[in-house]
Structure 1
Amino acid sequence: MPGMSETHNAARQVSDEPSPRRLLSSRKVYEGRIWDVVSDSFQLNDDGDALVRDYIQHPGAVAVLPMNDAGEVLLIKQYRHPVAMDLWEIPAGLLDVEGEDFVVGAARELAEEADLVADRWNVLVDFFNSPGSSSEAIRIYLARGLSDVPGHERHVRTDEESEIELHWTPLDAAVRAVLEGRLHNPSAVVAILAAAAAQADNFQGLRPAGAPWPEHPSQRR
């Protein structure tokens, strides 16, 4: 059949997997305030030529798709200077606290950027943001059972975060915004489409909040 491999197997599960190669050298070529740029020399196999690849060494991040009891999801608008645009995103932040549980970091970002706490957490999706140029791994959680952070406990947002605007929207409307090319933040796009897929079985297939994340670079050292 056209477009079908001879080895096609409908029952086969596709899954990314670690693939260590022979590292010849690694050096830091730029040290930044948040992330560094490193240059690695490696071989694909023992007889292969040495290849050199520069990439961003990133601590990783977590993001949260908040969903209320009406099935609406929360988007936040924030200015992003590298693209000079106000983007609709979801609460997110760096994994820059040594030893902090991933879900604890996600809960902190939810409180700081959306003034919310949640009592139901699930892993929605894990992904690499730009694996051809960065080691950044992102875990996105679905947060439900929401309540407001008391006013006197709310985080004081500064800099770009001081302009954050919050907007609740039905999930299907968010999906349309993605497919019509109106949303561009990768975490928001991935989260919205993953939530729409997960909704098909009433989110029963989602992993628990504490599910292992072996693909994160810190878990593979």
Structure 2
Amino acid sequence: MGEAYKRVKRELVHEGAIVKFYADYVQLPGGKIAKWDFIEHKGAAAVVPVMENGKILMVRQYRNALDRFTLEIPAGVLDSKDEPAVKCAARELEEETGYCSNDLEFLISLRTTVAFCNEKIDVYVAQNLIPTKQNLDEDEFVEIQECELEYLLEKIFEGSIQDSKTVSAILAYNEKYIRNKK
């Protein structure tokens, strides 16, 4: 394991709205060159919005990659690589749920698919929610659901909720804010 891996070439294959797809050529220990896929993502933020009654605001939306609806925590892509994730989380909270908060606390950082993508999602917990107005993007259609934590945990462990950021965030929230407070 002491030998180094070295990227010798990176070619842009396709640039999409959210990601760039590259072919990377990497020199392996021993000298052989391998071609690996790499997806560059500018980053994202997500939020676990907790209502005064303890319920968590979730968004139900259609996901093309799965060809089905999913139940997720609110999230979105950073406007730029330099945008603070907490600012993105606050924006997405209001856009998707119609609530804002001045009480966002960092929860966890996630790397969603380390084998081929550099996407990083910083997740925050929002409390003391203030009703405002939902402001969805023109291609965004979401339904808001208030859910009990126990219901979300049940859906995670039965396999109904599979979205990695949602699974990780709900489990981390339960551990940090609920189990450790008992």
For normalisation by structure 2, the TM-score amounts to 0.89
Match for residue 200 of structure 1? 179
Q: Which residue among 115, 120, 134 is the counterpart of 1:137?
A: 120
Match for residue 119 of structure 1? 102
Matched-pair contact (CA < 8 Å) for 1:125–1:139:
yes
Match for residue 75 of structure 1? 58
Give the residue type in structure 2 aligned to 1:158: E
Matched-pair contact (CA < 8 Å) for 1:57–1:135:
yes
Deviations 1:177-219 (A, max 9, x none): 110112122221111111111122239xxxxxxxxxxxxxxxx
Match for residue 25 of structure 2? 41
Give the residue type in structure 2 aligned to 1:57: E
Give the residue type in structure 2 aligned to 1:118: S
Taking the aligned partners of 1:200 and 1:43, their CA distance within structure 2 comes to 46
Match for residue 206 of structure 1? none
Give the residue type in structure 2 aligned to 1:192: I
Taking the aligned partners of 1:99 and 1:181, their CA distance within structure 2 comes to 35
Taking the aligned partners of 2:81 and 2:118, their CA distance within structure 1 comes to 17
How far the C-alpha of 1:39 sits from its partner, in A, is: 1.2
How far the C-alpha of 1:157 sits from its partner, in A, is: 4.4
Taking the aligned partners of 1:37 and 1:75, their CA distance within structure 2 comes to 30
Q: Which range is displaced more, 47-56 or 24-33?
A: 47-56
Q: Which residue among 175, 181, 201 is the counterpart of 2:159?
A: 181
Taking the aligned partners of 2:153 and 2:17, their CA distance within structure 1 comes to 35
- Consecutive unaligned residues of structure 1, counting only runs of 5 or more, are 1-19, 204-221
**Other structure's SS at 2:102 match:** strand
Taking the aligned partners of 1:26 and 1:157, their CA distance within structure 2 comes to 33
Give the residue type in structure 1 aligned to 2:175: A
Matched-pair contact (CA < 8 Å) for 1:124–1:142:
yes
Taking the aligned partners of 1:76 and 1:102, their CA distance within structure 2 comes to 19
Deviations 1:103-145 (A, max 9, x none): 0011000010001111221121111111112111111111111
Matched-pair contact (CA < 8 Å) for 2:43–2:81:
no
Equivalent residue pairs, number = 178
Deviations 1:76-125 (A, max 9, x none): 10011121101111111011335321100110000100011112211211
Deviations 1:151-185 (A, max 9, x none): 4xx425422x23x1111111122111110112122
Taking the aligned partners of 1:99 and 1:42, their CA distance within structure 2 comes to 28
Whose radius of gyration is greater, 1 or 2?
A: 1
How far the C-alpha of 1:34 sits from its partner, in A, is: 2.2
Taking the aligned partners of 1:50 and 1:43, their CA distance within structure 2 comes to 4
- Consecutive unaligned residues of structure 2, counting only runs of 5 or more, are none
Share of identical aligned residues, percent?
Answer: 30
**Other structure's SS at 1:83 match:** coil
Matched-pair contact (CA < 8 Å) for 1:172–1:196:
no
